[in-house]
């Protein structure tokens, strides 16, 4: 399988605040969460974007079934079953994932369209993933395109 960019997540349009809060990853938990995520998911690289309006895993899929593994991991973060999250999650791959990343970074996929805070959150999420050894060259290039 050729590695592909993958986004699995939920946001303010797909999930109520209660669900988003249950899946949120706190800064203090980020290093452990990234280690667990990469070990459990089949992602070669991973980034967690967790804000008040979204929880997304951006990654490089190196094995088939990675999206399902990410969904199981997300569900496990709060003791849910994957089926409980199914109606709230979206999965995007390849060019669709890159377009989604750009829309998020630009604030086009925000509750308040154009809000600038998300740009800093995307930068911080990528920097944290790099610092914890979870992000590599593919996510660096994709995130760089999204930020531009």
Tokens of 21: 């809060």
How far, in Å, are 25, 34, 60, 64 from residue 99 at the CA level?
24, 23, 15, 22
Q: Which of 34, 20, 51, 29 is nearest to 136 (CA)?
A: 34
Q: Where are the beta strands (DSSP E) in 17-111?
A: 43-50, 54-61, 90-93
Specify whether 52 is catalytic.
yes
Between CA 75 and CA 84, with CA 81 as vertex, the angle to 5 degrees is 95
Residue with structure tokens 């911080």?
A: 124
Catalytic residue among 1, 17, 39, 52: 52
Enumerate residues 6+ apart whose C-beta is below 8 A from 79: none
Q: Which residues are catalytic?
A: 52
């Amino acid at each position: 399988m050729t590695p592909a960019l993958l986004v699995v997540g939920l946001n303010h349009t797909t999930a109520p605040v209660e669900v988003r809060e249950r899946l949120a990853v706190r800064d203090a938990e980020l290093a452990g969460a990234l280690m667990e995520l990469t070990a459990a998911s089949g992602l070669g690289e991973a980034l967690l974007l967790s804000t008040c309006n979204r929880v997304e895993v951006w990654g490089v899929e190196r094995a088939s079934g990675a999206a399902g593994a990410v969904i199981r991991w997300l569900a496990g973060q709060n003791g849910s079953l994957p089926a409980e999250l199914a109606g709230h999650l979206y999965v995007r791959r390849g060019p669709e994932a890159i377009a989604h990343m750009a829309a998020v970074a630009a604030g086009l996929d925000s509750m308040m369209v154009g809000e600038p805070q998300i740009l800093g959150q995307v930068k911080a999420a990528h920097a944290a993933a790099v610092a914890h050894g979870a992000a590599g060259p593919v996510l660096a290039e994709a995130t760089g395109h999204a930020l531009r």
